[in-house]
Amino acid sequence: MSAANFHTMPDGRQIAFRHTPASSDGSKDQESAPTLVFLPGYMSDMAGGKATAMFEDAQAQGRGCLLLDYSGCGQSSGDFSDGTLSRWRDEVVTLITVEVAGPIVLAGSSMGGWLMILVAEALGARLMGIIGIAAAPDFIRWGYSAEQCATLAAGNVVYEDNPYGPDPTPTHPGFYKDALDHMRLDTEIAIDCPVRLLHGQCDDDVPWDISMKLASAMRSGNVQVTLIKDGDHRLSRDQDIALLRATLDSFY
């Protein structure tokens, strides 16, 4: 992919991003085509397999695509311990506002699927559709024990085994406190655009019934859930990427 660019937030933190704009051929269809904004998961960045595949496809097809690293992740500046859903939502919305014209399709993986909802609520009429990939809204509620929640509420860090790397995965109390203000599964989610949710039934991190609950909470009547019987949490196999491509193509 191309080298990353950087956007400076008001407090000085540098947000790394890559943006390939839609090719301009003067056609009405091209001008109204959406830009894909891909939101990676917790402690992930824009160098992941799904994000890279979507960006390269966009470049090859003349479609718009925006990738970014949240502050404290990847090439962006800042400390991960300062990261919150609110902070990362504001970074995404700022980059969309500054870099992208026209309608938006949001795709969110795991925690990015929770963040996707918050960004979608902020975009209003610009939102054309959303794609959740093992979306994990409200995971601090269903993904943590009462003991872990008490530890976080007391201002201490919780560490968990990391199946994807040698170091344990931290959850910081600031993230936990902020996330309590962004619970969505128990209320109607005021999103009316088409919603597509992909989830592997062999996902050991996010139960697939979370996507069913998310579908039920959406106000939109145009919601489809696709379950991949042998799919894991990452959904990064060739056949999973092909399904993601086909899902995205339905918005064009």
List pLDDT tens digits, range 34-90. Answer: 999 999 999 999 999 999 999 999 999 999 999 999 999 999 999 999 999 999 999
**First vs last C-alpha separation in the chain:** 23
In this model, does residue 26 exceed pLDDT 60? no
Stretch 170-187: mean pLDDT: 98
Instruction: Say if residues 82 and 59 touch (Cβ distance below 8 Å).
Output: no
pLDDT number for residue 164: 80
Structure-token pair, residue 194 = 């088409």
Catalytic residue among 19, 172, 182, 233: 233
Distance in angstroms (rounded) separating the CA atoms of residues 163 and 157:
19
Distance in angstroms (rounded) separating the CA atoms of residues 119 and 127:
9
- Residue 86 designated active-site: no
Stretch 105-121: mean pLDDT: 98
- Into how many domains does the chain fold? 1
- Residue 138 designated active-site: no
Catalytic residue among 110, 182, 199, 240: 110
Distance in angstroms (rounded) separating the CA atoms of residues 168 and 127:
36
pLDDT number for residue 50: 96
pLDDT number for residue 65: 98
Is residue 8 classed exposed, middle or buried when 0-12, 13-18 and 19+ CB atoms within 10 A define those classes?
exposed
pLDDT tier at 205, thresholds 50, 70, 90: very high
pLDDT number for residue 25: 57
- Which parts of the chain are beta strand (E)? 5-8, 14-20, 35-39, 64-68, 104-109, 127-133, 158-160, 169-171, 195-200, 223-228
In this model, does residue 22 exceed pLDDT 60? yes
**What type of residue is 176?**
Y
pLDDT number for residue 24: 64
Distance in angstroms (rounded) separating the CA atoms of residues 7 and 1:
18
CA dist 111 → 84, 175, 206 (Å): 11, 12, 10
DSSP state of 134: S
pLDDT tier at 138, thresholds 50, 70, 90: very high
Q: Which domain holds residue 70?
A: 5-249
Q: What percent of the chain has pLDDT over 90?
A: 92
Instruction: Say if residues 136 and 103 touch (Cβ distance below 8 Å).
Output: no
- Residue 24 designated active-site: no
CA dist 53 → 50, 102, 186 (Å): 5, 22, 34
In this model, does residue 134 exceed pLDDT 90? yes
pLDDT number for residue 165: 80
In this model, does residue 28 exceed pLDDT 50? no
Which pTM does this prediction carry? 0.95
For the stretch 134-171, what's the b/e string if a residue is b when 16 or more beta carbons lie within 10 angstroms of its beta carbon? bbbbbbbeeebeeebeebbeeeeebeeeeeeeeeeeeb
pLDDT number for residue 31: 59
Q: What percent of the chain has pLDDT over 70?
A: 96
Phi–psi pair at 235, nearest 5 degrees: 50, 55
pLDDT number for residue 2: 74
pLDDT number for residue 104: 98
Return the CATH number at 16. 3.40.50.1820
pLDDT number for residue 27: 46
pLDDT number for residue 30: 54
In this model, does residue 167 exceed pLDDT 90? no
pLDDT number for residue 240: 98
Catalytic residue among 69, 138, 178, 203: 203
In this model, does residue 124 exceed pLDDT 70? yes
